[in-house]
Structure 1
C-alpha cells in the first residue's frame, strides 16, 4: 500500500530508497497536465450549433446533443458550455421567460421535453461539467417587439426595451429589467444541477457606427452621482455581476460563475495599464464592461478572454494578450481559461497564420509556459468538429492525448472527499475490471490511474501520463473496465475520489495479478 501511495504523490512513510533516482523523468509533462479545463461552446442562437435547425423532433434534438457530448469525450474535454438563454428566452420550462424559438421555430413552443434537464443528465453521465450559458440583455435578433409572444416580459414592459443595431435589448440601466434578467438565470440555477453559470461578451451592445443606444432618459432618472454616462453604464453592469454572483453563491456555493469577454479591456494608448494592443473595441469603454475590475474584486470564479487572434498579429497579439491577462489574475482566486477562435482556422483572411494548421496548437504551446492559464475553450462546436486543415486533430494529438481533471477551486472548497475502499483489479476476457466502493456521498467522480507493475514509472501522479479515465459516481459500488490493458502485463491501478469541485482524495492502489 505504501508504495502505491508514494507513486500517486501522497506523502507516506516510504523510505528514501523508494524515491526514483532519476527525478528528471518525473517532471510533469506540459503536454499531459493533470488538471486543465477543456470545453467547446455549443451555441444555440440562430441555430449555430444546436439544434442544427428549428423544428426537429425531441428525439432528433436529443441525438444531436448527445453527439456533441460524445465529441467532447472523444477529445478528452471535461466540460461543455451550452447556450440556454440566447435571446431572453429559455431552453427549459422557465417560470420567467418563454421557450426559445430556436427549439421549435416558434417562441413559446414547447419542444416536448426539458432540454436543460436532458443536457445536465447526459453531460454528467459522461462526467462532463455542464456550464449553462446565458446572454443577459439581448432580447431579439430583430427589431419588431410585436414578434415576441404577448406574454413576454418585454411586451409587458416596452419601456425597458432599446432598439439598437438591428436588435432589441433590455436597458441595463433599469433596475427592474436587471432583476428580471437575474430572476431568469436563477430559475435555472435553482432547479437544475448545473456546474456553472456562463456569460459571453455581450453587455451593453457592441458599438454600431452612426447609432446611439438611447438611454439618456434612464441616465437622467437613475444616474445621480455618476459624472458621466459611461461611468453609470459600467456601474449598471458591475451591479449585474455582483448581484448574480451573490445570488448564485447564496443557494449553491459550488456553482461556478464565469465570464468570457472580448479580450481587450483597454488598449495601452488609452490607459497605460491596458494591453499592448490597438483593438477597435475596448470592453471598458465600448461595452461598459470593466472586466479587469471583476477579476480584481473576485466577483467571478473564472474568466475566458476571447483571444481570437493569432500569435504575432500586430493589432492584437495572442501572446501579449494572454500574458496581460495572466498578470491580472495573479494574486486573485479567479481562474484564467483562454477562448480560442477555431472558427477562423482555414477561413480567416485577417491573418495568414489562420491558414496554418499549427496555429491553435501553437497557442497551447505558449499557454503551457504561463502557469496562470488553466485551460481553453473553443468557438464553436461545429468548427471544432469541422477539423479544417486537420487543426483540431493536430491539437488533440499533441495536447489532449490523456484525460484531465477539472482545475480545483480552493476558494470555493478545498476539502477532499474520503478515499475509496476495497479496490480490486481482475483480469477478464475483455481487459481488466477495476472495482471499488464509495466512502462518502460527496464523491461525484473518480480518477483511475494505471502503470505497469514491472518497468513502469514510479513518479507521483502530478501529470496525467498514467491517468486512463475519469468516471461519474453512480452509486455505492463502482467499476471500470480497462479495455486497453495488454494481456499478460501486470499493472498497478490507483483510484481516487473527487467531489464536484474536483478536490481529489488520496489514492488507493491495487494490483492486477491475473
Structure 2
C-alpha cells in the first residue's frame, strides 16, 4: 500500500510539473459529469464503428492482382493498400477489416500454412516481405483499427472443370495434402463450383485452424479477429455434405446430425474467443453472419422474414453466440433493401438484430451491400442513390446499432450513382471514435497537456506531452482525440458528447512530445483546443486543460 501511494504521488508530481511548464494551460480538466444531459446530433455521433471490408480472395479488393516478387511489384502492392487507407480516412472510417487467410493460407510467414496465392499468383510462394506486418503498421499510422479477417474452413476456390477440389493443386506441403482425411469436397469433385473444405466435425481440424489463426493473433498487433459467414458450405443443388462417417466417429453423443453440426461451429466460436482472450484480452472477436438466423415461421424467436436460415443451411446458430456472449461484436450481412420484400426486408431485420443483442455485451454493426448500389442486376430499389444512406438513417432509431461495415472496398470507391458521397456526407461528415467495450480490460488514463499551439503556413500546430501512466513511452495511451471549439469556449462534457467538435484522432508516435497540424483552421480565427488520451480500446482520459489560439 505504501509503495502504491508513493507511485501515485510521483505521478501527481509529474503531472503538476507538466502543467506548470505548459503556457496557457490555465485550468484542470473538466470532470466528465455523468449526470449531465447533453443534446447531441445523431448525424455526428461521437462513437460509431465504420469500416471497409478489404477482400483478398480472388483478388477482389487487395491486392487487385497477384504479382511476382520484384521490388517494383511489391511497391505497387503496398501503394495500392495505402490507397485503400486514404479512402478509409477520407470517409472518416476508423477501422479496416482485411482478409489475411482467405483459403487456408496466410498473408504472413506462417509455420502452419502456405503463403497465399493471391499475393504472388503461385500457391506457397514467399513474396519476400511480411504483408501482415505492413498492413497493421500502416493502418495504425492512420489510427485505424485493424481487424484480421480469417475464413476458418475454406481450403480452395472453384476452378474450371470442378478442379477446385483437387488436393494436388494445393501448395506442396499443404496441411490438407498431408491430411486428406481432414477435408471434403463440396459440391462433389468434378462438379462445377466444387471446392475443398476442412471438415468442421473433425476435432483435430478445429484445433488446427484455431492454431493457425492464433499464430497471427500472438505475433501481430491486431485489434480484432473477424470471421465471415462461411462455416459449413452453403447448399448447392441437392448435393449433401459428405460427413456421415465423421458423424459416426465424432458425434459426442448427438443423435441429430444438424444439432451436431451446429455444436461443431459453436465450439469453434466459443473456443476461439477463449483462446484470443487468454493471449490478448484486448483483442476483439467478431463474426459477420448471413443476415437471417431463423424465420418466425420456423421458430417464434426468429425474424419476420421468409429467406434462407443460417441456423439450418450453414449450421450457424448466431443468436446463441450473441446470447452466450462468445463474440464481442456481430455484423449481420443485411444485404437487402428497405421495402415490401417479404423474404428479407432491411427494415424488419434491423429491429430483430437490435432486440437480439439488447441486454448483452455484444455490439451490433450492420453489414452494408455497397456492391448492390447502382447495379440494375439487383433490381430497381438499388437504383435509388439514397438507398444506403436511408439504411444508416433507419439505424439511428435503434441505439443498439453501433456501426456499419461496407462490402467491399472497390464498391465503396466506385461510388455508383454517387451513393457513397451521399451516405458519407449525411452520416460520416465528422470523425468518430470506435465504441468502447467495457467488458474488455482498461484502466484510467492521465490527460495530455498541450505545451504549444502556433500558427504556421499550413495551419495550427499543436504539441503536447502525455504523462507516463503505464509501461509504454506514453503510458497506456495509444492515440489521441483532438477537439476544437470556436473562440474561448471550453467545451466540457457536453462539448465532447458528440463529434461536432472532434476534428481528428491520431496515433501516438515515438518521442516524448506529440504533434499534429490542424490544416482546416481558418487563418486569424480564435480557437480553443482540448485533447484526450485514448487507450487501445478507445477509452478516453479526462479532457486536457484548454489551449487558446488567437
State if a TM-score over 0.5 links the two structures.
yes
Q: Which 4+ stretches in 1 moved above 4 angstroms?
A: 1-6, 454-458
Relative distance call for 1:262 and 1:269 in structure 2 (3 A) is same
Aligned ranges 1:215-294 → 2 under 5 Å:
215-279=243-307, 281-294=308-321
Alignment deviations for residues 360-391 of structure 1 (CA, whole Å, 9 cap, x no partner): 00011011111000000000000000000000
For the residue of structure 2 that corresponds to 1:201, the secondary structure is coil
For the residue of structure 1 that corresponds to 2:58, the secondary structure is helix
Q: Distance in 2 between matches of 1:4 and 1:350?
A: 56
2:504 is aligned, of 461, 469, 479, to 469
Q: Distance in 2 between matches of 1:369 and 1:414?
A: 30
Q: Is the 8 A contact 2:528 2:549 kept in 1?
A: no
Q: Distance in 2 between matches of 1:455 and 1:249?
A: 42
Please report the RMSD computed on the Cα atoms of aligned residues, expressed in angstroms: 1.8
2:546 equivalent in structure 1: 510
Q: Distance in 1 between matches of 2:202 and 2:375?
A: 40
Q: Is the 8 A contact 1:41 1:381 kept in 2?
A: yes
2:52 equivalent in structure 1: 40
2:183 is aligned, of 158, 161, 168, to 161
Q: Unmatched 5+ residue regions in structure 1?
A: none
2:165 is aligned, of 131, 139, 143, to 143
1:200 equivalent in structure 2: 228
1:497 equivalent in structure 2: 533
For the residue of structure 2 that corresponds to 1:470, the secondary structure is strand
Q: Is the 8 A contact 2:151 2:228 kept in 1?
A: yes
Q: Unmatched 5+ residue regions in structure 2?
A: 1-24, 158-163, 188-193, 469-474
1:129 equivalent in structure 2: 145
1:420 equivalent in structure 2: 448
Q: Distance in 2 between matches of 1:348 and 1:232?
A: 41
1:68 maps to 2:84: yes
Aligned positions, number = 501
Aligned ranges 1:95-494 → 2 under 5 Å:
95-141=111-157, 142-165=164-187, 166-279=194-307, 281-312=308-339, 313-440=341-468, 441-453=475-487, 459-475=494-510, 476-494=512-530
2:67 is aligned, of 55, 65, 89, to 55
For the residue of structure 2 that corresponds to 1:208, the secondary structure is coil
Moved more, 449-458 or 44-53: 449-458
2:5 equivalent in structure 1: none
Q: Is the 8 A contact 2:229 2:287 kept in 1?
A: yes
For the residue of structure 2 that corresponds to 1:203, the secondary structure is coil
Offset, 1:430: 2.4
For the residue of structure 2 that corresponds to 1:502, the secondary structure is coil
For the residue of structure 2 that corresponds to 1:508, the secondary structure is coil
Q: Is the 8 A contact 1:260 1:303 kept in 2?
A: yes
Q: Distance in 2 between matches of 1:272 and 1:36?
A: 31
- TM-score normalized by structure 1? 0.94
Q: Distance in 2 between matches of 1:223 and 1:35?
A: 44
